[in-house]
Amino acid sequence: MEVRIEAVAKDFDRHPALHEIDLAIASGELAALVGPSGSGKTTLLRLIAGLETPGRGRILFGEEDASRLSVQARRVGFVFQHYALFRHMTVLENVGFGLSARPRALRPARAEIDRRARELLELVQLGGLEKRYPPQLSGGQRQRVALARALAIEPRVLLLDEPFGALDAQVRRDLRRWLRELHDRTGHTTVFVTHDQEEALELADRVVVMSQGRIEQAATPDEVYDRPATAFVHGFIGESSRLPVRVEGGEVFLDDRPTGLRADWEGPAELFFRPHQALVGDGAGGLAGMVTGGRRIAGVRRVELELGAAHRRVEVDLPLAQSCAPGTLLAFRPTAFRLYPLAGEGRPADRAPARQLAHG
């Protein structure tokens, strides 16, 4: 079921949690909401579910205006961060709860409810645990019971709030892959919140980046990573270094010194590049910085550099074999970078669109 959010805003005691938001989630899509703490992810999810009422705007399920429907009538599967399982019910009763709560005319017979609940438990790979109570399960198992319970009502939309938030890294990775497979199999329109951007990039068809109650960008993982719409997105998704520069006559200057980079821009800007998108070593030319430290990250050595009198910090990646002692001077040149308007130029830089992708 397609979900459309049209100009939805939400205040809590006059404090805006969401400014006007527009977002369309295609039928069968798996969308991830990411953003810093307090950016409004949970609020948006709860608005879709009907657990909060929007101050303005509409939420459409297909052609139906869901804002008019009660929580019960919306038929959304909501998986809470802390699972919210009913602890006095067995796993089977938990999963069957939604079906037995249906109005009498639509309610399947007891045996049918049990059969379907069992089927769902098989689907989430928990067959055999029907008789257990939630406190007798591990975190990952509870998470899957919560998911099965949400799936039981044949939801029109599946909403998950930080579904793997409370689990350890290994379990997260397994569940992530498993959720992707499950989604591909069942095809539910799904929105999940995560604060783990890696999770969002790996799992989602579309990544929605939020900040301070606004959507910064909603696009495919590739798009969000390779062409961040705003400085905020660039800084938030993936590793990046930033440098305040100015562009004159198409040439990029840092502290009034030419960098050898060229860009279609005029005036001050903020330059972003990723550590792995830099050519490092003698003859790289352009920029140079003093090595202040380094650490190994998986297959590369990430080196911290300080540039100029202002001690601006950037990070670049080196091959593991190449060592460089602190204190040495290292030349480098970003192979790809993006420029964004500087903060304080009338509008906040984090919100203004990027105008340039240039190759040096």
Partner 1 sequence: MALALPALRRPSVIPGFGLTLGFTILYLSLVVLIPLSGVVWRTADLGWAEFLRLATDERTLAALKVSFGCAFAAAALNVVFGALVAWVLVRYRFPGRPLLDAAVDLPFALPTAVAGIALTALYAPDGWIGGPLAALGLKIAWTPLGIVVALVFVGLPFVVRTVQPVMEEIEREIEEASATLGASRARTVFRVLAPSLSPALLTGFALAFARGVGEYGSVIFIAGNLPYRSEIAPLLIVIRLEEFNYAAATAIAAVMLAISFAMLLAINSLQAWSRRRYGHG
Ligand X SMILES: Nc1ncnc2c1ncn2[C@@H]1O[C@H](COP(=O)(O)OP(=O)(O)OP(=O)(O)O)[C@@H](O)[C@H]1O
Among 3, 29, 32, 35, binds ligand X (CB under 6 A): 35
**Using rule CB under 8 A, residue 236 touches partner 1:** no
What is the x/- site pattern for partner 1, positions 258-297, by CB under 8 A?
Answer: ----------------------------------------
What is the x/- site pattern for ligand X, positions 164-203, by CB under 6 A?
Answer: -------------------------------x--------
Among 49, 124, 261, 339, binds partner 1 (CB under 8 A): 49
Check: CB of residue 57 under 8 Å from CB of residue 44. no
Other Cβ atoms within 10 Å of 343 Cβ, number: 14
**Using rule CB under 6 A, residue 214 touches ligand X:** no
Sheet holding 241-248, edge to edge: 257-262, 251-254, 241-248, 267-273, 337-340, 356-358
Q: CA-to-CA distance for 87 and 91, rounded, in angstroms?
A: 9
Residue recorded with tokens 């591990």: 138
Q: CA-to-CA distance for 247 and 249, rounded, in angstroms?
A: 7
Ramachandran region of residue 13, left (φ > 0), alpha (ψ -120 to 50) or beta? left
**Using rule CB under 6 A, residue 82 touches ligand X:** no
Strand partners, 204: none
Any idea what DSSP says for residue 109?
P
In terms of CB distance, is 237 or 284 closer to ligand X? 237
- By beta-carbon distance, which residue lies closest to Mg ion? 42
**Using rule CB under 8 A, residue 305 touches partner 1:** no
Among residues 158, 126, 128, 131, which one has the least CA distance to residue 141?
Answer: 126
For 45, residues 6+ apart whose C-beta sits below 8 A from its C-beta are 33, 78, 159, 161, 191, 193
- 235 phi, psi to nearest 5 deg: -75, -30
**Using rule CB under 8 A, residue 185 touches partner 1:** no
What is the x/- site pattern for partner 1, positions 83-102, by CB under 8 A?
Answer: -xxxxx--------xx--xx
Among 5, 34, 42, 140, binds Mg ion (CB under 5 A): 42
Q: Which residues would be at the binding site for partner 1 (CB under 8 A)?
A: 49-51, 71-78, 80, 82, 84-88, 97-98, 101-102, 133, 135-136, 149-150, 152-153
Q: Which residues would be at the binding site for ligand X (CB under 6 A)?
A: 12, 17, 35, 37-43, 195
